[in-house]
Amino acid sequence: MDNVIHGNGQAALNVCGCGRLHFTYGPITLHFDRDEFVAFADAVARLASQLRQADDSRSLAPSSAYSDTMCH
């Protein structure tokens, strides 16, 4: 790994000499090329914004939209 960018807390982004990005959050590491990572980060940012707006309006309700998603 050539460069490490640390986020808050558990997040880190390793910019590898092979051209891949390795995003680590706690025990999980996801591997991306640059465009994939930017798309992923944008999607997560949008979801976080929507969650904050739902929390602010207190309109968040459980959803069964993703029936293949399991809750622990």
Say if residues 54 and 60 touch (Cβ distance below 8 Å). yes
Residue type at position 14: N
pLDDT tops 90 at residue 3: no
- 33-57: average pLDDT: 92
pLDDT of 20 reads: 95
Question: CA-to-CA distance for 37 and 21, rounded, in angstroms?
Answer: 7
- Please report, for the chain, the start and end positions of each structural domain, with discontinuous segments joined by +: 3-48
Dihedral sign from CA coordinates of 18, 19, 20, 23: positive
pLDDT of 1 reads: 45
Mean pLDDT of the chain: 85
DSSP letter string over 12-69?
A: EEEE-TTS-EEEEETTEEEEE-HHHHHHHHHHHHHHHHHHHHHHHHT------S-TTP
pTM score over 0.85: no
Give tens-digit pLDDT for 46-62.
999 999 988 777 766 66
